[in-house]
Amino acid sequence: MKTILTGLRPTGNLHLGHYFGACQNYLKYQGKYDFYLEVADVQALTDNFNNPEKVRKNVREITIDLLSIGLDPEKVNFFIQSKIPEIAELTVYYSNLVTVARLQRNPTVKTEMSQKKELFGNNGESITYGFLGYPVSQAADITCFDGKLIPVGEDQLPLLEQCREIVRKFNSIYGETLNEPEPILSETKRIKGLDGNDKMGKSLGNAIFLVDDDEKIKEKVMGAITDPSKIKKDDPANPDICMVYYYHKLVSPEEDVKKVCSECKKGARGCVACKKELIKNMNEFLNPIRDKRKFYEENTKVVDEILNKGTEKAREKAKEQMKKIKHSMMIDY
Ligand code: ATP
Ligand code: MG
């Protein structure tokens, strides 16, 4: 059975970007493959090294989110990255196979670095060795489990490409050992943020979280960016530049979406009414997730057991794969 490997950073709760950009595919593929889901605490520490409490708290939080959307621990092995020392070991070996210049050119690293100026400086002059190297560590995450299919959002593509390069280099030097992973993208590859930013991100302050309650949803949707040229209620507007329409397309029934679009273009719908309709539909979408979350919040022991069991399983798999890798590298003393 082919292996699916994917990961999330415990830096905050799941948001709509995760759900529609990546998690829908987790749900689609669970049970059909040998599935490993990494809670990437080591990677989260690369830009949160000075905030260990945040990472620690979110390991359980994000696991609860993932269980609440319907992932089944019988079909998916949830594991904690730092509990698999083989990943760290492999990262060291791979660090010989990638140049610093190549990492500096990685578009995802560049974008994320520029979003973290307070940590890495205005022009990335204070970038750490760990953050610059996280794509190497991510290549280790994937190949440590012989991950073949990788369901991710679009921002992850340059990181996967980097992994594929490392795999090719490894095989060319040490002999055919590793498989090249392939990304699986969802229909909506990249979900925009409330501020209209290209990417909704948990560290970007522009996200609708799955844990947001009615009050928060109301506040966020009411503040969402709409077509700025629409001043009066009956002015016609362009739904394609409106974040409210954008989220209607994600959570509202198809007939509602069509109606929103045509009425907006004709000036037959005010923004306030349109937002209220979105709030209602968003809550309907979130309610079953909220119900499941309540169960896991009241039974955190169950969550910790799921993580322990999945981590044990993952460790076995990683050990096996490491044997193969060390043999190829002639360090199997
Ligand atoms: P951080 O800002 O801490 O990096 P994040 O919101 O980017 O958090 P990650 O844990 O890095 O979340 O990403 C987990 C998965 O969700 C990845 O596959 C990523 O591609 C996907 N993802 C995150 N945000 C979006 C988005 N806005 N649209 C589509 N996919 C997304
Ligand atoms: Mg990210």
In a domain, 242, yes or no: yes
* CATH number for 227: 1.10.240.10
In a domain, 263, yes or no: yes
**Residue 196 maps to a domain:** no
Same domain, residue pair 320 and 274: no
Q: Are residues 225 and 138 in the same domain?
A: no
Quick one: 221 and 241 in the same domain?
A: yes
Say how far apart CA 255 and CA 248 lie, in whole Å.
Answer: 11
Task: Tell me what pLDDT residue 276 has.
Answer: 97
pTM for the whole thing?
A: 0.94
* pLDDT digit string, tens, across residues 282-312: 999 999 999 999 999 999 999 999 999 999 9
Q: What is the pLDDT of residues 166-198, one digit of tens each?
A: 999 999 999 999 999 999 998 888 999 998 888
Asked if residue 151 has its Cβ within 6 Å of ligand 1, the reply is: no
Give the E-state strand segments of 155-239 in sequence order: 182-184
Q: Tell me, what's the pLDDT at 188? A: 85
Look up residue 110 and give its two tokens.
């560049």
Range of the domain at 46: 3-191+300-328
CA 4 to centroid of ligand 1, rounded, Å: 17
Q: Looking at residue 108, which CATH number applies to its domain?
A: 3.40.50.620
**pLDDT recorded at residue 126:** 96
Residue 101 lies in a domain: yes
Residue 93: the pLDDT is 98
Strands across the sheet with 182-184, in order?
A: 76-80, 34-39, 3-8, 149-151, 182-184
User: Whose CA is closest to atom 18 on ligand 1?
Assistant: 152
User: Would you say residue 71 lies in a domain?
Assistant: yes
Q: Are residues 311 and 266 in the same domain?
A: no
Is 258 in the same domain as 316? no
Domain shared by 184 and 288, yes or no: no
Give pLDDT, residue 216: 96
**Which mutation among 36, 198, 202 tests ligand 1's pocket best, with the greatest number of atoms within 8 A of CB?**
202
- 184 lies in the same domain as 94: yes
- Say how many C-beta atoms besides its own lie within 10 A of residue 130's C-beta: 15
> What's the domain count of the chain?
2
> What tokens does 43 get?
């990677």
- 119 SS3 class: helix
Is residue 206 in some structural domain?
A: no
How do residues 127-138 score in pLDDT, each as one tens digit? 999 999 999 999
Q: Which residues in the chain land under pLDDT 50?
A: none
Task: Count CB atoms within 10 A of the CB of residue 288.
Answer: 12
Q: Is the CB of 83 under 6 A from ligand 1?
A: no
Atom nearest to 8 CA in ligand 1 = 10
Q: Residue 333 Cα, ligand 1 centroid: separation in angstroms?
A: 40
- Judge if the beta carbon of residue 156 lies within 6 A of ligand 1: yes
Nearest ligand, measured from the Cα of 38: 1
